[in-house]
Structures are given as C-alpha cells and as structure tokens.
Amino acid sequence: MAARDLLAASALALVLGAGAASAEVVINRGNDTDPATLDPHHTQTVSEGRILKDLFDGLVIQSAEGEAVPGVAESWDLSEDGTVYTFHLRDAKWSNGDPVTAHDFSFAYHRIVDPMTAAGYASNLFAIKNAEAIAGGEMPVDQLGVRAIDDKTLEITLKAPTPYFIELLTHQAALPVHQKSVEEFGDQFTRPENFVTNGAYKLESFTPNSQLVMVKNPHYYNADEVAIDRVNWIPFEDRSACMRRFEAGEVQICSDVPAEQMDYVQQNLADELRIAPYLGTYYLPVKGAEGSPLKDARVRRAISMVIDRDFIAESVWAGTMLPSFKLVPPGIANYDGDAVTVDYADKDLFDREDDALALLEEAGVEPGSLTVELRYNTGENHKNTMAAIADMLSNIGINARLNEVEGTTYFNYLREGGPFDMARAGWIGDYNDPQNFLMLYESGVPFNYSRWSNEQYDADLDKAAITQDLQERAKILADAEQTLLDEQAIIPILAYSSRALVSADVQGYEDNLMDAHATRWLSLN
C-alpha cells in the first residue's frame, strides 16, 4: 500500500511541477501536435500559432474574446487613402531586457518576405507594398513598404487599402523576432538557451513528442496581470489520450475532443466541454475529367442538393459541426452572409431529391450511368463523412466509390492539379475576413483544387480588394460567393466548431470564433 501511495504521490508532484513547495501556478495544455518550428516566420499551423502567441506579442494581439486589440502598438493612425498605417509602440521589453523597438518589427517583416528566408506564410503579408515582388525575387528586400521612423514609430505602406489589415497582424506570421539573437545564432536562435521573446512567456525547454515548457517572462509589459507561471504544452496526436489525461486531472485544457466519443463526453463531461462556432468550412471541391457530367453545373448542384448536411453534422460528427451550404462561415466580420442565398437549403430533403433528379434529367444524366470517385485523406471523420455521402448519392442513382489516400500524397496530388471527381478539403481562416475564404477559388491560386475559373468571380474579388467602403465591399464579396455557389464549383457541407475540454478550475477561457485562448488571459483556481 505504502509503495503504491508513494508512487501516486510522486506522480502527482511531477504533474503539479517539481517544486510543489513554491506556490507556482502551472497549467498543462493539450495541443494538436508539436510545432514544426518556433521560428514565427516558418510556422504555418494553428497549433504553432497557439504556442507562438504565448511567446510573442505582435503589434496587435487577440483578446480573450478573440478580437484584435492593441499589443505592442498602443495605437495607430491610418492615412486618408487607407494605405499608410502608422503604429505607435508602447514601452515593452524582450525577455532579455532589451527594449522592443519599431526596428525589431521592421527587421521581422523584411525577414519574412525575403526569398532567402523561404517563409511559408510570407504570402500573408502580401498586402504590404512590394511584398509580393520581393518574395518573388523581382525586387530587393529594402523596397518593402515597412519603415521604422524612430524607436517607437513604425510606418507600414500597403499595396492598396486593406480593411482586414489589422486582423491580419494578429496572425503568427506578423510576430516580431529579436534581431540581435537571430543574427548571432542563425537557425539556432529558437533554442531555449538562445530564444529571446517579447510575449507573456519565454521558452524553457522543448522535448519533441513530450512537452514544450514555457515560463512567465518577467520583462513582459503586462507581467503583473499574467496569472499562470508555467505552461506545459503537450502534443496529442491521439485525442483520446488527451481526454484520459484530462479526466485523470493531469491536463487542464484539451484543444480538441474526439467526435467518436461525443456521446460519452456529453454525458460525463458536459460542464467541461466547450463547443463554439469556429472560423472554418468543410467542403467538397468538384473537378471531373474533361467531358464528364461533373463539368455541368446542374449535375454539381444536384449532388449538393441530396447531401443531408443535418445527418452528417448531427450523427457523423456527433453535433460538433454545423450544417452549412456556404463557403464563408457564419459570424465572420466585414460580411453579410445572409445576402448569399442557396435556394434549396430550406427545402425538405425528399423534395430536394426530386429536384435533383429533375436536374440530372435536364443535364442528360441517366440514373445509374454516372460513377464518381470520392477522394479523401486519412484522418478524423473523413471516411464516415464520405461513406455517408456515397450513400446519399445512391438515392439519385449516382454511384460513388470511396478512395482514401494517405495525407501527404493526397495534398500533393491536389496541389499538383491531379484529376479527381470529388474530394474533401477544409479551410480554417487565418484572419477574420471573408476575403480569406473567397480567395481560395480565385483563378490560378494553388488552393483552387477544382481549377475552376470564372471571370465574374475574379473581377468581383479584384474590385473588392480596392473598395474602401466596408458595406460596399461586403456586397461585392457576397456577389462573388453567390457566383461560386450558383456554379457549385465546390459543395460546402459543414461549418467547423472548435471543441475543447476546459477544466472547471480554469478561469478566463472565453469561447470565440477564432478559437484564440492565449494563456495570459487564463488563471487557475
């Protein structure tokens, strides 16, 4: 007995952090996966964003409610024509005590667009003047529209007015880096011993597949208000593993909950379960070979009509997703989603099936004559989703064959423009603006898996890009989405929800559309 208790006690001590005597406040947070790197300019994923936004403060940060609020920049001015931002910086320090200056931001933004850096998310800053040309190697780096006027003033010149620019700055690609340590240590600058950060936390250690430990940054400008002293970020490739450790009290926040176990969670962890609308869409790109009936918008529309989104959302995803007919998710800023209409959305499924059959007949597709391949990548609930869709398509005489493909091959195939009938794709918004979704289907962008091209759509997006009046712009963007959905180049089926387990001890965790929950806003009871 004694040995067992001792074992349990030591395990507990370890979970709570070795120095149980000091009243250090420690939180264990589950993350979807390890960061591929801690260099903000090389990161691409949501899970990296979570960690980096604890380590760094950008000009603008996300509040507990996920809204863009002043970060290192105390305030900013925008020129009349909407193209020049002037940011006024507060007194802030790096974790080594150096002051955070406008030069650090200028250095960072020059670094990310530099072709030598080869930053994956450089394109996120293409709104800045000359950024695209510089990343393409057509212009020297010093031509970038970013300039430090003095230590406390940063001027950013944009290519054109960009209403979502401030939102854009909340993304991890817009975080600063400490110039001196980057120059001194090169690609070693993210090592715990070298890493200088300006956020609420600094890095203590990083053990791959185990945990990433960060401790409070004493030099942080708001250090007094940071309630948690130590954060252990734990990667969970297996979401059930996070849930078990959550139930065992070893983890306080799980960033995801397995949909398969939702019945159990809703019964047993109802108070800890957080499901909230999330800025993301789950959709099916449709392509079809040359001459295939899938090239006919009526056929694509018929297919979209018979997909029972309620069943997929409620049963396959156990209520963790919302049925959707549109690409731009509900709740997004700078948009009027209601202006976009999908006329069959409110009809009963059986009526939709009749209409779909009529459409197919009109398009000359005999029942049973069309076979489509549903291609999807391994993971989550994609298999069940596609199996359900295959079953629904059989109701209007379309045969569907499933083809599951391993992830890397799958995405490479789509990016390279490989032929397919229908596939699956998901998109989580980088920033809160419809442009971030609608740009997916512009002609010639790599995200456009269907290689769909529509002049009206492209023209609308171009026009929106230079429209300053937000209402006018929202209308143009809605027109574009209407074109996309009328043509049914893609079949949106679900809007994402964020789903998390949050211990009752955690205070300050506010559900929000961006699923942004920086540790600085949290405290433990």
Partner 1 sequence: MTDIPMTAAMPSRSLWQDAWIRLKKNRAALASLVILVVLGLAGAFGPMISPHPYGAIYQQYVRVPPSLEAYPRAEEIEPAVESLIRRARVETTQTDVSGDTVTVSVASDQPIDERLVRYFQRSDQFFNPELVLADNGLTGTLTLEVERNYFFLGTDNLGRDMLSRILIGVRISLAIGILASTMALVLGVAYGAISGYLGGRIDNVMMRIVDILYSLPFIFFVILLLVFFGRSLLIIFIAIGATEWLDMARIVRGQTLSLKRREFVQAAEALGATRSGILRRHIIPNALGPVIVFVTLLVPKAILAESLLSFLGLGVQDPMTSLGLLISEGAQNMRGASWQLIGPAAVLTVILFALNFLGDGLRDSLDPKER
Partner 2 sequence: MLGYTLRRMASAVPTIFIIVTLTFFAIRIAPGGPFDLERPLDPLILANLQKAYNLDAPLWQQYLMYLGNLLQGDLGPSFTRRDFSVNELFAQGLPVSILLGGLALSAATVLGIILGAIAALRQNSWLDNLIVAIATLGITTPNFVIAPLLSLFFGVILGVLPAGGWSNANPAYWVLPVITLALPQVAVIARLVRGATVEALRANHVRTARAYGLPSRVVVGVHALRAAMLPTVSYLGPTAAALLTGSVVVETVFGLPGVGRYFVQGALGRDYTLVMGTVVVIAVFVVIFNLLVDLAYAWLDPRVRYD
Q: Which of 210, 369, 378, 456 binds partner 1 (CB under 8 A)?
A: 378
Residue 44 contact partner, candidates partner 2, partner 1, none, CB within 5 to 8 A by sort of partner: partner 2
For the window 56-95, what string marks contact with partner 2 as x by the rule CB under 8 A?
Answer: ----------------------------------------
What is the nearest approach in angstroms of partner 1 to the Cβ of residue 15? 22
Region of 56 on the Ramachandran plot (φ > 0 left; ψ -120 to 50 alpha; else beta) = beta
Q: SS3 string of 176-211?
A: CCCHHHHHHHHHHCCCCCCCCCCCCEEEEEEECCCE
Return the number of the residue (89 or 122) whose C-beta is nearest partner 2. Answer: 122
Site for partner 1 in 300-319 (CB under 8 A): 308, 311, 315-316
Using CB under 8 A, pick the residue from 248, 289, 358, 470 that binds partner 2. Answer: 248
CA distance 425 to 415: 12
Give me the helix-helix angle, 455-465 and 470-487, nearest 10°: 160
Write out the binding residues for partner 2, residues 22-61 only, by CB under 8 A. 34, 36-39, 42, 44-45
Which residue, 35 or 293, has its beta carbon nearer to partner 2? Answer: 35
C-beta of 216: minimal distance to partner 2 in Å?
A: 22
Q: Which residues contact 364 (CB under 8 A, 6 or more apart)?
A: 293
Out of 75, 264, 364, 369, point to the residue binding partner 1 (CB under 8 A).
Answer: 264
Report the DSSP beta bridge partners of residue 31: 235
* Closest C-alpha to 508, from 306, 283, 326, 252: 252
In angstroms, what is the minimal distance from the CB of 30 to partner 1? 17
315 binds, among partner 2, partner 1, none (CB under 5 to 8 A by kind): partner 1
Q: In the numeric block, which tokens belong to residue 185?
A: 């240590």
* Residue 374, CA atoms < 13 Å, CB-side half-sphere: 24
User: Hey, which residues between 153 and 172 contact partner 2 (CB under 8 A)?
Assistant: none
With contact defined as beta carbons under 8 Å apart, do 107 and 124 qualify? no
Nearer to partner 2, 398 or 494 (CB): 494
Cα 423 to Cα 445: distance, rounded to the nearest angstrom: 17
Return the structure tokens found at 140: 């020297």
Residue 331's Cβ-count burial label (10 Å; 0-12, 13-18, 19+) is middle
Q: Is 406 in the site for partner 1 (CB under 8 A)?
A: yes
Q: Which does 115 bind (CB under 5 to 8 A by kind): partner 1, partner 2, none?
A: partner 2
Count of residues engaged in binding partner 1, rule: CB under 8 A: 30
| Residue 241 interacting entry, from partner 2, partner 1, none, C-beta within 5 to 8 Å by type | partner 2
What does the buried/exposed string (b/e) look like for 496-509 if buried means 16 or more CB atoms within 10 Å of the residue's CB? bbbbbbbbeebeeb
Q: How many whole angstroms separate alpha carbon 204 and alpha carbon 131?
A: 34
- The site partner of 261 among partner 1, partner 2, none (C-beta below 5 to 8 Å per kind) is partner 1
Binding residues for partner 2, rule: CB under 8 A, are 4, 7-8, 10-11, 14-15, 34, 36-39, 42, 44-45, 115-120, 122-123, 135-136, 187, 190-191, 206-211, 234-238, 240-241, 244-245, 247-248, 250, 406-409, 411-415, 425-426, 446-447
Q: Which residue ranges make up the site for partner 1 (CB under 8 A)? A: 240, 258, 260-264, 308, 311, 315-316, 348-350, 378-379, 383-384, 386-388, 390-391, 395, 402-406, 409
